């Protein structure tokens, strides 16, 4: 008889039309990191919602320290010592770290805050677990990685014994991911039970002890990560063999489609250039990848190309035509398709239907409107065509409210819309962020198909594996400048790392 910290036994949760969790069992011990792996829509979120008392399961029970508990709401879950580190942090930006941590559980004496006591506890916890953080820093001033530490400290401050990490690495840079792994190991050493939700197999392999795999609401199995390869886990997750390698036909390089010439952009906050004289060309039939650590000007260069930001000087040429001062709409018509970085902020209107979102780039074209009156028939046909072609899954087809769709399918919809629009160049920034293996494969295939169809593809990625796998040519951004221009077959990951860290500079930069 083993002593489990938390056991979810034979959980079944049905929704009208689907069984979201079908007889799922999850058992986690103290001092164990237990990965929960599954594609978007496999039932991970539902299972965690059951654990948090947001959903009441039809069957099954939850045992905490061997005793059955009824978790009726998230507050109850917190009281029982179950805490969650969310993907999107719940923090007040202009409060300090300390204020954010104690928010909701403030110690008071006659109505007066006892900050000193709280500070002592926070400092002690951060030393104990190696969570380096300045308790007096404003949350708006600290990095995403540090904000995540604040979330972890919040849970520890509330004496949580069972911690759930919901895709914690999706928002982090490679260095921050390494630091998080260390923190997780510390937590494990101190006897916490950890449930780690992720798509990234390498991380599971690196840090977790056990891994439970879900697929389509069913539990496929629980394995020891030490003795299971990432390939086996991936197969369990998607139910077929996964192709980590991107198949590409030999390149047929065409003319230059998009060129940047000495583009400069001043930072909005600091007195420096975020783009400091950037020049490069993208040819037809090539995938040019911009690599680099996040925050070195990649987001800005993409916004400048698409027309969301106006550069200070320099030129942007599309097929030889200077589009530097054209409006965003004109650039769309000229043939720039763009998969944005933040799909919720820019990519879709969450409260609109899938159909309305799929038409976002085309609704003004003559086929879709006449004298300003929308041609609903054409719009429906467009939506159905894209849903079918790109396998966008949702509960109610084209009339699904986009907010209710999974992240992977929202992204598929954006990619579908951008590829469908008449274009010569496809710009994509982090198109696979937060997606599962199956969806990533699909998007990579889309990008390669665009290249093979003779389009120019500009891909920004912070994921070196993706950079090496997909690209025909790589340029590296460092501090708003291009510091390397190489082909993936001529370079190693380590070398790229040096370029990205700014400690090496290449030749033939343009």
Q: Exactly one of 1, 226, 270, 373 binds other proteins (CB under 8 A); which one? A: 373
Q: How far apart are CA 258 and CA 97, in angstroms?
A: 44
Does the footprint of other proteins cover residue 273 (CB under 8 A)? no
Q: How many CA atoms lie within 13 A of 255 on its CB side?
A: 6
Residues 456-475 that bind other proteins (CB under 8 A): none
Q: Looking at 115, 363, 505, 506, which residue binds other proteins (CB under 8 A)?
A: 363
Beta-carbon contacts of residue 46 (< 8 Å; ≥ 6 apart): 13, 20, 21, 55, 217
Contacts with other proteins in 132-191 (CB under 8 A)? Answer: 166
Which listed residue (115, 206, 374, 509) binds other proteins by CB under 8 A?
374
Which positions from 76 to 115 touch other proteins by CB under 8 A, shown as an x/- string?
A: --------x-xxx-x-------------------------
Q: Does residue 309 touch other proteins according to CB under 8 A?
A: no
Does residue number 49 form part of the binding site for other proteins (CB under 8 A)?
A: yes
What residues contact 406, with CB distance under 8 A and at least 6 apart?
40, 41, 393
The yes or no reply on residue 308 touching other proteins (CB under 8 A) is yes
Residue 332 within binding range of other proteins, rule CB under 8 A:
yes
3-state secondary structure 161-199: CEEEEECHHHHCCHHHHHHHHHHHHHHHHCCCEEEEEEC
What string marks each residue from 384 to 403 as x (binds other proteins by CB under 8 A) or -?
Answer: -----------x-------x
Tell the smallest beta-carbon distance from residue 165 to other proteins (Å): 12
Residue 384's DSSP bridge partners are: none
- Stretch in the footprint of other proteins (CB under 8 A) among 125-133, 284-292, 303-311, 313-321: 303-311
**Site size for other proteins (CB under 8 A):** 51
Residue 495's φ and ψ, nearest 5 degrees, are: -60, -45
Tell me 346's DSSP state: I
The answer to whether residue 18 forms part of the interface with other proteins (CB under 8 A) is yes
Nearer to other proteins, 159 or 202 (CB): 159
Residue with tokens 């059955």: 68
| Least spacing, CB of residue 387 vs other proteins, in Å | 18
CA distance 197 to 212: 10
Among 179, 147, 146, 198, which residue's Cα sits nearest to residue 42?
A: 198
* Helix orientation angle between 115-129 and 174-189, rounded to the nearest 10 degrees: 100
Give the residues lining the site for other proteins (CB under 8 A): 15-18, 20, 45-46, 48-49, 52, 54, 74, 84, 86-88, 90, 166, 306-308, 327-332, 338, 340, 345-352, 356, 360-361, 363-364, 369, 372-374, 376, 395, 403-404, 407
């Amino acid at each position: 008889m083993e002593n489990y910290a938390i056991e979810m036994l034979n959980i079944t949760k049905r929704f009208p039309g689907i069984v979201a969790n079908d007889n799922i069992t999850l058992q986690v011990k103290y001092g164990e990191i237990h990965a929960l792996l599954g594609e978007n829509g496999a039932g991970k979120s539902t299972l965690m919602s059951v654990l948090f008392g947001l959903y009441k399961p039809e069957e099954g029970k939850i045992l905490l320290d061997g005793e059955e508990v009824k978790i009726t709401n998230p507050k109850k879950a917190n009281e029982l010592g179950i805490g969650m580190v969310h993907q999107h942090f719940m923090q007040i930006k202009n409060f300090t770290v300390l204020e954010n941590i104690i928010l909701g559980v403030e110690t008071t004496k006659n109505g007066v805050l006892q900050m000193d006591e709280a500070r002592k506890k926070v400092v002690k916890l951060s030393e104990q677990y190696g969570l380096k953080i300045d308790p007096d820093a404003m949350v708006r001033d600290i990095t995403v990685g540090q904000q995540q530490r604040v979330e972890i400290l919040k849970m520890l401050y509330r004496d949580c014994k069972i911690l759930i990490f919901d895709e914690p690495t999706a928002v982090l840079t490679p260095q921050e991911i390494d630091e998080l792994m260390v923190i997780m190991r510390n937590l494990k050493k101190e006897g916490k039970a950890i449930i780690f939700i992720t798509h990234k197999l390498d991380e599971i392999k690196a840090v977790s002890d056990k891994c439970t795999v879900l697929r389509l609401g069913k539990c496929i199995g629980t394995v020891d990560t030490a003795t299971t390869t990432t390939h086996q886990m991936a197969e369990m997750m998607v139910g077929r063999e996964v192709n980590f390698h991107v198949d590409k036909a030999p390149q047929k390089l065409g003319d230059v489609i998009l060129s940047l010439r000495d583009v400069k952009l001043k930072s909005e906050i600091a007195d420096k250039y975020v783009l400091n004289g950037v020049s490069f060309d993208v040819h037809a039939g090539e995938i040019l990848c911009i690599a680099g650590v996040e925050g070195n000007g990649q987001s800005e260069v993409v916004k400048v190309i698409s027309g969301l930001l106006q550069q200070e000087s320099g030129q942007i040429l599309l097929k030889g035509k200077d589009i530097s001062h054209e409006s965003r709409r004109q650039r769309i018509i000229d043939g720039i398709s763009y998969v944005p970085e933040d799909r919720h902020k820019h990519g879709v209107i969450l409260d609109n239907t899938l159909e309305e979102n799929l038409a976002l780039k085309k609704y003004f074209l003559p086929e879709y409107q006449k004298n300003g009156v929308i041609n609903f028939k054409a719009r429906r046909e467009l939506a159905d065509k894209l849903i079918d072609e790109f396998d966008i899954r949702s509960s109610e087809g084209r009339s699904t409210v986009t907010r209710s769709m999974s992240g992977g399918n929202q992204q598929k919809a954006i990619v579908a819309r951008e590829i469908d629009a008449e274009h010569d160049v496809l710009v994509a920034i982090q198109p696979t962020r937060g997606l599962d293996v199956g969806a990533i494969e699909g998007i990579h295939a889309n990008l390669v198909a665009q290249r093979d169809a003779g389009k120019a593809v500009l891909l920004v990625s912070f994921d070196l594996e993706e950079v090496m796998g997909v690209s025909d040519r790589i340029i590296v951004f460092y501090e708003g400048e291009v510091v390397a221009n190489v082909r993936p077959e001529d370079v190693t990951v380590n070398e790229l790392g040096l370029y990205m860290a700014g400690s090496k500079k290449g030749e033939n930069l343009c």
